[in-house]
Structure 1
Amino acid sequence: MTHEIPQSPDELPDNVYDGPSKSQVKRDMLALLDLGKELVDLSPERLKQLPLSERLYEAIRLAQRTTSREGLRRQVHYVGKLMRDAQSDEIRTQLDTWKNGSREQTQTMHRLETLRDRLLKDDGALTTLLEKYPQADVQHLRSLIREGRKEVTANQALRPGQEPQRKHYRALFQALKSLQDSETQDSDTTA
């Protein structure tokens, strides 16, 4: 028994997938247009870091130089059209990283903030920190913790509208970040 291949769309069975709907295609095109608009807002330095074709890069640069409202609208639509052939997933990933930082960076910042808060509340936290980072400048850390605690106490006594002091609070965070960065560099050079 041989099966005949349907010759016209009318002869196709109902359960055959024949591609995305018109609505989905339109949503995809609008998403590429929005991505193109984001690219037009980037600096030339950032644009050079993205996987853009020369033609797309030049179209974006022209849109950035266009002052006429209607001309800009048309140029942005042209950029959106060129985005169909671009590596849009890689571009979106990079833009997301620039906007939000990577998840690892965010988690690292939260860990450092938690460690800083622990150091300001608990003397035992410094001992634990020094076990992990024996190369740390103990005197400098103790000084920052002591001054940070003074700032916290002074900030609790502020009246509404007064600016809290955070100089040593921030300096302690930076010292912790430097410790972690130096450990990361040391592990990279030994690997």
Structure 2
Amino acid sequence: MRGHDEETGEFFSPSRSAQRRAALDVLELGEVLVALTATQLGKLPIPDELLPHIRDTQRMSSHGARKRQLAFLAKQMRKLDDAQLDAIRDAMSKDGEAARRDTAMLHRAEVLREALLGDDGDAAMTDLLAQHPQADRQKLRQLVRNTFDERKHNKPPRAFRELFRELRDVLAGGEASADADDGDEDSHD
């Protein structure tokens, strides 16, 4: 029985129907996680204690056994904080914040690549290296030269693509270190 406050009339806890809906939402999330590949799972912020349960469920071939294992997985997932479950849902969502950040980073890498290959490529390289001192200056300059050479000789855009990947990695490394710096500042307060 839920019980309610005598003075305000508010209930102390969610109704059984609300609890059941929340449990079914977690079960659906578990079904989606089990359907993902190992690579896709690696990109999600899944706690380490859940991964063995997900793998066990993926290995089950018998319908009844798989259903029981999925129920057990959902039970383990309900032990997580709501924030952790929301982070997993957000990472899986195409409209989520994580997807928007990734898309924005890809666009920045593309704009940066075009700036490096443009008329004022030296200034763009200087700005990039000033903002991201961890970047490999020699590798970036070599990739830019190779891209120009590919264009000159009408070769396939191998270095052009590799330059994009390198810029994406540099930008991702810069964001990760910026996030770590923000976390360090919070810990000093």
TM-score (norm 2): 0.57
**8 A Cα contact 2:116 2:125, kept in partner:** no
8 Å CA contact 1:36–1:79 kept in 2: the answer is: yes
Question: What is the CA deviation profile of residues 81-115 of structure 1, one whole-angstrom value per residue up to 9, with x for unaligned ones?
Answer: 34332335325425644787575554332211111
**Residues 14-53 of structure 1 correspond to what in structure 2 (within 5 A)?**
16-18=9-11, 19-41=13-35, 43=38, 50-52=47-49
After superposition, give the CA deviation of every residue in 1:108-136 in whole Å (9 maximum; x if it has no partner).
3221111123344x312x02223223873
* Change over 3 Å in CA distance of 1:74–1:142 after alignment to 2: same
1:80 shift after superposition:
1.9
Q: In structure 2, how many angstroms separate the alpha carbons of the residues matched to 1:30 and 1:166?
A: 48
Q: Secondary structure at the match of 1:67?
A: coil
- Structure 2: gaps (5+ residues): 131-135, 185-189
Q: 2:126 aligns with which of 125, 131, 134?
A: 131
Cα distance in 2 for residues equivalent to 1:175 and 1:108: 12
**Aligned residue for 1:145?**
148
Q: 1-side partners of 2:174 and 2:51: how far apart? A: 39
Distance 2:165 2:172 in 1: 10
Distance 2:32 2:25 in 1: 11
Quickly say closer, same or farther: Cα 1:173–1:71, change in 2 above 3 A: same
Aligned residues: 162
2:114 matched residue in structure 1? 117
SS of alignment partner, residue 170 of structure 1: helix
Q: What is the alpha-carbon distance in structure 1 between the residues aligned to residue 34 and residue 47 of structure 2?
A: 13
Q: RMSD over aligned Cα, in angstroms?
A: 4.6
Query: Higher relative contact order by CA 8 Å / sep ≥ 6: 1 or 2?
Result: 1
Alignment match, 2:187: none
For the 8 Å contact 1:144–1:168, the answer to whether it is kept is yes
Is residue 26–residue 74 contact of structure 2 (8 Å, CA) maintained in 1?
yes
Q: Where does structure 1 lack aligned partners over 5 or more consecutive residues? A: 1-8, 155-164
Preserved CA contact (<8 Å) 1:144 1:171 = no
Partner of 1:74: 68
- Whether contact under 8 Å (2:146, 2:159) holds in the other structure is no
Contact 1:50 1:91 in 2 (8 A): no
Contact 2:105 2:171 in 1 (8 A): no
Q: Please report the TM-score for the alignment, with normalisation by the length of structure 1.
A: 0.56
Deviation per residue, 1:15-46 (Å, 9 max, x gap): 62214345432321111112222443464x95
Code of the aligned partner of 1:107: A
Which residue of 2 is the match for residue 170 of structure 1? Answer: 161
Q: Could you tell me how far 1:139 is from its partner in structure 2?
A: 5.6
1:11 & 1:182 partners in 2: Cα distance? Answer: 52
Give, in whole Å, the separation in 2 of the partners of 1:149 and 1:81: 60
Of structures 1 and 2, the larger Rg is shown by: 1
Tell whether the 8 Å contact from 1:63 to 1:76 is kept in structure 2 after alignment.
yes
Identity %: 25
